Structure 1
Amino acid sequence: MSDSLDTDLLNIFRDEVGEYLETLNTLLMQIETAASADPESLRELNRVAHSMKGASRAVGLKVIETIAHYMEEVFAASMQHQLKLAPDVCDLLYDGLDLIQTVVDGDENDEETLAHLLMHLEQVVAGSAIPADEPVQEAKEATNHHGEEPPAGTNHKSPPAEPIQQPAEMPIPPSLVTDTSTVMMRPMEESIRVSVGKLDQLMAEVSELLVARMQSEERVRDVQSLRRLHGRWRREWQGIRAAYIRLARRVQDEQGDLDADLLVIFKFLENNQRNLLAATHQLSQLVQALGQDNLRLTTLADQLQDDVSRMRMVAFETLLGGFQRMIRDLARDTGKQIHLDVIGLAVEVDKTVLDALRDPIMHLLRNAVDHGVERPDERERSGKSRTGRVRLEIEQRGNEIVLRVADDGKGIDVAALRHKALQTGIIAQQEADAMSDEDVRSLIFHPGLTTAATVTAISGRGIGMDVVRDRVESLRGRVSVMSVAGEGTTISLYVPVSLTRIRCVLLEIGMETYAIPSAVIVRMTTLRRDDVFTAENRDMIVLDEHPVPLVSMADVLGIPGSPRSADEITVMAMRAADRTVAFEVDGLQSERELVLKPLGPEIARAQFVSGAALLGTGAVIIVLDANDVVRSATGRTLPARRAPVLSRPSAAVVQRLRILVVDDSITTRTLEKNILETAGFAVSVAIDGDEAWQKIGEEHFDVIISDVEMPRVNGLELVKLLKGNEHTRHIPVILLTSLAKPEHREAGLKAGADAYLVKSQFDQGELLQMIQAVM
């Protein structure tokens, strides 16, 4: 078998075993919590274990084959009422599933752990576990349900072993209730496996088709505009045609015969009257045909996009088994009694989004068990049930998924959190005094901040909540926290259903146009300047009878806006980062659906940037990160996901600075040029050091920003040329390169560069700061 075929087979096997593990985990959870096993579930367990054994044998994974064989024997014995799936037996089966997952993931497994597991599984099969009502001897006689011998290399014989003891006084968690009664392997439809990479490529091509559709719509609007212009011309002609006829008759009456030149003109006008009518008819037909073609293209493109999107959609229930199992294990480890409610498992989301949410959901559930829900005796003293409740709820609202993790525990201790943040130096006393309870609760997203008295292996290190926020915001989502002391905490995640299309409102700031996701917009309105008032040293307006801060979007982004109107202001209020803020903008356009385009690593890290999108005109616009914008507007930079962008250099500095950007990549040159021109600098570009040296001899430049690896004259050679010439050695040089090793930095600075920045760590704020520093 070829290496490529081996690889393909192993990839198929991984997907198949993933489904088997999910089914086994879920069914075992149902059987364990129901305290009895229904025959159908046992048959399904036995069938899945048998299938997994056969698949493992086909790819030569003896470890998985052996574990699956003994699991099959356990389920077969249980089917014949010769073995009870008691908690200790389930623990052993879960250990087997975890070990299989380790092998599938390609991690090294501990041989001692494997030997210990196989020994105990063999003991269970041999009848040493907690038996059912039937005699153990009968169980021994009926263990091999399929009449097969254990895989070669395993020893089915073992000395008498003691029963596996269940830990004393350890409560068994109550039922983990979900909105699905049973989970069975559904009848297999005829299907093929397609890699996610191929689906991504197909989705990218569909995105290009959607852009073509938008461009087609733009062309239809252009033709409609042309028809309106033609209609105005025709109406004007009809208005003057009567005057033209009167003039022709008057000339004819006065002169008898028309002048030859006038006759030519009159005939030309009459002929073009007929041509005008024909053009009007043809133009109307063209507009109608283009509209119908565009309608068909729109229908097909949207249908294709929906079909491809559905191919990538995965139900949240695929996560259920793992989370149920995790809660069960955590409850046992912490000695707590947990009742898990899961609502909305049938909701589907793009696989990329679901994969990105897996860890955040896990963090939230772990925190709910470890930090949220109290121990049974503590709950009893508080007048609560000994069993804590954790709720995972998923719902779809339009193009957005709302996911909530709630517990009925002790809630967030705002006073303790404020004190801890002060104690660790995260906030100053003045900040602490000014912070509302809502602001303090948001501090849970600060890395490393925790009020836990002791560190545990579960969630007590303050790790996780910052990861949750960063992961959700990387999906263009947002997080909110609600908590009532003594009653519990609810953390809500808001993420888009798909990452390829997004509904946005376009906003105008000076000469620039940006997009903001519609999901975060609370209100768009026009107000009188007199409606603005000052409170707490900042501008405010009233929305829905509540004061809301008013901030200039141009000031937040650090770009020039239009001159302010003395009478009216255009306002867009949005809710993000757990705050509502109103922004003054220069103009607002209608809502539209945009096709998002991937960003390169350099610009993807830039503050305020969530993505980029193509308009029907072909123009590229930036989609703003609402969370970054709101945090910057409210001065809440903690915990910043990206380095903050500094304010623009002063006008006096900008006016006298001319910058030369040197890079052999047109993309990088254009990106840097746009950033610097947006900041107000005059920018020229060169493709390598040779061209740069020629331009420096012809023009004056205040700063040089250069790549290192370039043809002809590279960056280091250019620096040496500049620093070795008495006329240019005073010009500061910033090297901006992908070479990140210490020796590369040392070489650049040794050559004479004034600063050295790495593209993979590129941040536009750092670049602007560096320009100011070298000047």
Structure 2
Amino acid sequence: MSQPEDLSQFSMQDLFRMEAQSQTQILTDGLLALERRPADAGALEAMMRAAHSIKGAAAIVGLDMVVQLAHGMEDAFVAAQHGKLQLTPNRVDVLLAGVDLILQCSQLDGEGVPAWLAANGAQLDQTQTRIRGIAFLPEPVRPAPAPAPAPVPVPTPAPVSAAPPAATPSAQAPVAAPSGDGDSDNPAPAPGAPPRQLAPLKTAQNYDRLLSLASESRIGAHQMHPFIQNMQRFKRHQASLFGALDALHDAIAQGEDASLKEKSVLAQQRSQPLRQFMLEHIAEIEAYERRLLATSKNMVDEVLMLRMRPFRDGVQHFPRMVRDLARNLGKDVRLDIRGEDTLVDRDILAHMESPLNHMLRNAVDHGMETPEQRSAAGKPAVGSVVLEARHRAGMLNIEISDDGRGVDVEKIRRTVIQRKMAPEQMAQAMSAAELMEFLFLPAFSLKESTTEISGRGVGLDIVHDTIRQQNGTVKIESEPGKGFRTSITLPLTQSMVRALVVEIAGEAYAIPIVKVERVLRVPQNAIHVLENKQFFEHEGEHLGLVPAAQVLELGEHNDAQAELPVVVIGNGARRYALVMDTIRGEQSLAVQSLEAVFGKMRDIYAAALLDNGEPVLILDVADLLVSIDKLLHEGALHQMLRGSQGARRKLKRVLVVDDSLTVREMERKLLLGRGYQVDVAIDGIDGWNMVRSGEYDLVVTDIDMPRMDGIELVALIKRDLHLHKLPVMVVSYKDRPEDRARGLAAGADYYLTKGSFHDETLLDAVADLIGEASS
């Protein structure tokens, strides 16, 4: 296979470092394979070659300690190949410790070797001694935790470390404190993991520039289409002209003027090449457009392929990490990685390493039982964790499943109640799926005590946030006693995004299609108002309406349309319908990062160019949901009905303000029955916000209400320059003369006591103030 790089630019130390990274990975994979399949002759042969290669390369660069380690390992493999040595887990621990030391040594430069030897000389000598005497190494009944290794005193892209063998042989403790319940900070790579350089910065920048150029070529190809349409239009006009010319020629041919006939024949002869020219050249231009589109598409696809890496590149160190962590906990667990050849965007692969690390550690620490517990439960003594990646429905799907004990849903329920995260009655009514969502909350842990491995209450919330930042989703399922499964769905690439293009305040914006739940058109007469929030009913659910122009601070929405185009985003309680100007349709966009000088722009994820060359901003849906929540909390959302009031003014509109649900609903039904349009508010503040944002013919208000009473509300309305003429009716249980006087003094147009009116009393009073419902 050809070497893409000029190796002459590397020093011998650089070449040794690269060779050590690849060969130590072969040794690690082979040792783990032999632990599972002791008769795997192929793995032994590959490890012998790897150890021999390391020994020769280390001799060239003068690393005698590496030569000795590799020589001892090679002897062990020869003995195993001849059946004289069985590579038991305890012996594998010692050999893996040697692999880690070799990898550490390979990362050193010439100046750093003496300092590293001074710090790790004892450990190095002990490991070499144990490898030479590996045949006499006993296998303990239960491995004990090993001490943490000394760090490498030189900076490396991803430092690795080796655990020294203890007096009682054991597995290495993970370098980073592993997580439980998703509990971890920023774990370092597992021991023996090669430095992971999925995409050097310069290479990444080259990829981005290539993608930008390929995207521009695609846009240029698409811009041929309007040109061809203009040519087709010209051809139709030309055909019409030639038709008129033929008709003129026929008319002249029937006359007597020979000179005119001669000129007509000449005109027809000269027009004939023009007719053929248009037909031939339009066909050529259309063929050229097809070739250009295909070439530009292939160019984009090829650049995207440069950004793709096999799934194995980001997960090859996990089997070692799982194995060592399990032995440290007194368990026996094997990780099976499937779909290693599945192609994944390099950026997604890099970002997903930490979440996958969290989930695998959780599976070992929380999910897996000890061999004795598994045998007692009728399970194999060796636990199984499966990590699988595959493409499905145009997305990347990663699943992590184990055959452990699963999650005790009732324990989650008890924890939720104990920590007062939900009322007991509500918690008892929650389904298993709803309770599982609590695992994604910050600081939520089922561990009763904090240990090195878990119980800090940090982890799954970070996993959830990281996946969400990658425009993905995560779902967890558990079957008590049988296992736990995590399903992660992500875009195939972050470089291209399939997006819904919309228009807001006259400007084009894009929403990643994976974040769009559905697109609807909502008639104006289907919109309702409750507590100053507008909503419509869809499939038995109330969906809140939010003008996208206001969320993005682009002014007010132009709502003169009879039907509003909306895009539904979010899920659960945070599910909203964003009102757009128009929906243009779907497009595949090449994502362009915003300049760093702008920082993180609120509600904006990235930028792109549409097929016609028009720039477009890609919206950040997670940010949008936060902005919407803020507007709702402040009660500042604009009403969507004002633009259509001209058509709706036939029915008069009444606002009922009352903190009593019973009274509020009774008054609403009475007024609706008489034909009025009715909105309701739950207190004075809510009523004040609604009366300012809507156009009402009458306000009916109670007096005693929280936050703002009816007297204050009446006074505010009557002092407002635009609202002072709005009729206000006070309906209250207070029937003392001084109460009536207070209400009328504040500016109320009518005062009615709840204890004295019948249905018709209220309706007659309303009719006296504003007339009948229709006008």
3-state SS, counterpart of residue 597 of structure 1? coil
1:79 alignment partner in structure 2: 81
User: What residue number does 1:291 align with?
Assistant: 286
Tell me the CA shift for residue 236 of structure 1.
5.5
In structure 1, C-alpha distance between the alignment counterparts of 2:415 and 2:349, rounded to whole Å: 34
Q: 1:316 aligned to 2:323?
A: no
Choose which of 553, 566, 587 in structure 1 pairs with 2:582.
Answer: 587
The residue that corresponds to 2:356 in the other structure is 361
* Aligned residues of 1:67 and 1:96 also touching (Cα < 8 A): yes
Matched, 1:118 2:125: yes
**Would the aligned equivalents of 1:99 and 1:109 in 2 still touch at CA under 8 Å?**
no
Counterparts of residues 407-446 of structure 1 (less than 5 Å): 407-409=402-404, 411-412=406-407, 441-446=436-441
- Deviation, structure 1 residue 241: 6.1
Shift of 1:402: 0.8
**2:49 corresponds to which residue?**
47
Moved more, 92-101 or 110-119: 110-119
| Deviation (angstroms), 1:96 | 2.0
Contact 2:319 2:334 in 1 (8 A): no
Q: 1: CA distance between counterparts of 2:486 and 2:16?
A: 37
Correspondence for 1:233: 237
Structure 2 distance, partners of 1:455, 1:462, is 9
SS of residue matched to 2:84: coil
1:539 to 521, 535, 551: 535
Cross-structure match for 2:228: 224
Matched, 1:58 2:53: no
Q: Once the 2 structures are TM-superposed, how far is the Cα of residue 31 of structure 1 from its aligned partner?
A: 0.7
Alignment partner of 1:512 is 2:514: no
Distance 2:226 2:269 in 1: 25
Report how far residue 5 of structure 1 moved.
6.4
Please list every run of 5 or more consecutive structure 1 residues that lacks an aligned counterpart in the other structure: 133-161, 171-192, 638-643, 651-775
Within a 5 Å distance, the mapping from 1:706-721 to structure 2 comes to none
Contact 2:35/2:88 (CA < 8 Å) preserved in 1?
yes
Count of paired positions: 577
2:215 aligns with one of 193, 208, 211: 211
CA contact (8 A) 2:548 2:557 kept: no
CA contact (8 A) 1:516 1:623 kept: yes
**1:29-66 Cα distance to aligned partner (Å, 9 max, x none):** 111122x2433321211110111222333344444444
Give the letter for the 2:88 counterpart.
Answer: A
Q: Distance in 1 between matches of 2:16 and 2:528?
A: 65
Q: Distance in 2 between matches of 1:468 and 1:300?
A: 39
Q: Deviations over 1:697-740 (max 9, x none)?
A: xxxxxxxxxxxxxxxxxxxxxxxxxxxxxxxxxxxxxxxxxxxx
C-alpha separation between the residues in 2 aligned to 1:489 and 1:578?
26
3-state SS of paired residue (1:524): strand
Match of 1:335, SS?
A: coil
1:26 aligns with 2:29: yes
Query: RMSD value over aligned CA atoms?
Result: 4.9
Aligned to 2:340: 345
CA contact (8 A) 2:211 2:304 kept: no
2:95 maps to 93
Q: Which residue of 2 aligns with 1:665?
A: none
Q: State the SS of the aligned residue for 1:83.
A: coil
String of CA shifts for 1:67-101, please: whole Å, max 9, x gaps.
Answer: 32322222223223333212221111112223334
CA distance in 2, matches of 1:378, 1:549: 51
The residue number in structure 2 matching 1:477 is 472
Q: Which amino acid aligns with 2:583?
A: L
User: Does the Cα contact within 8 Å between 1:89 and 1:129 map onto a contact in 2?
Assistant: no
Question: Is the 1:559–1:648 Cα contact (8 Å) retained in structure 2?
Answer: no
For residues 661-693 of structure 1, give each alpha carbon's deviation from its aligned partner in whole angstroms, at most 9, with x where no partner exists.
Answer: xxxxxxxxxxxxxxxxxxxxxxxxxxxxxxxxx
Closer, same or farther: CA 617–310 of 1 in aligned 2, 3 Å: closer
Aligned-pair distance for 1:471?
A: 3.4
Over 3 Å counting, the alpha-carbon distance change for 1:205 and 1:575 in structure 2 is same
One-letter amino acid matched to 1:82: K
| Residues 572/127 of structure 1: CA separation in 2 closer, same or farther (3 Å cut) | closer
Structure 2 counterpart of 1:761 = none
CA distance in 2, matches of 1:435, 1:455: 28
TM-score normalised by the chain length of structure 1:
0.62
Assess if the C-alpha contact under 8 Å between 1:46 and 1:72 holds in 2.
Answer: yes
Residues 194 and 513 of structure 1, relative CA distance in 2, 3 Å threshold: closer
What displacement does 1:534 show? 7.6
| Partner Cα separation in structure 2 for residue 42 and residue 384 of structure 1 | 30
Deviates more, 1:299-308 or 1:429-438: 429-438
Structure 2: which 5+ runs fail to align? Answer: 1-6, 140-164, 174-196, 640-775
Are 1:330 and 2:325 matched, yes or no? yes
CA offset digits 1:285-324 (Å, max 9, x no partner): 4443333333333333433444444444332234554211
State the distance in 2 between where 1:646 and 1:271 align. Answer: 78
Quick one: distance in 2 between partners of 1:472 and 1:349?
Answer: 14
Post-superposition Cα deviations, 1:569-616, rounded to whole Å, max 9, x if no partner, equal: 323345679976554333222322222222223445223322211224
Instruction: Give the superposition deviation at 1:394.
Output: 1.1
When residues 429 and 81 of structure 1 are mapped into structure 2, their CA distance, relative to the original with a 3 A threshold, is closer
Cα distance in 2 between the residues matched to 1:76 and 1:636: 71
Structure 2 CA distance for partners of 1:85 and 1:444, relative to 1, 3 Å: same
Q: Equivalent pairs: percent with the same residue? A: 27
Where in structure 2 are the equivalents of 1:382-393 lying within 5 Å?
Answer: 388-393=383-388
The amino acid across from 1:88 in the alignment is N
* C-alpha contact (below 8 Å) 1:373/1:388 kept by paired residues: yes
**Which one is further off, 568-577 or 601-610?**
568-577
Return the letter of the residue paired with 1:203.
Y
Indicate the SS of the match to 1:92.
helix
Range moving further from structure 2, 104-113 or 337-346: 104-113
Between the aligned partners of 2:463 and 2:574, the Cα distance in structure 1 is: 18
Distance 1:498 1:60, change over 3 A: farther
Distance in 1 between residues matched to 2:476 and 2:598, nearest whole Å: 30
Give the letter for the 2:36 counterpart. T
In structure 2, distance between residues paired with 1:384 and 1:249: 101
Q: Deviations over 1:649-669 (max 9, x none)?
A: 99xxxxxxxxxxxxxxxxxxx
Q: Could you say what secondary structure the match of 2:449 adopts?
A: coil
1:626-775 paired onto structure 2 within 5 Å: 626-630=621-625
- Cα distance in structure 1, aligned partners of 2:318 and 2:351: 15
Counterpart Cα distance in 2 of 1:295 and 1:227: 16
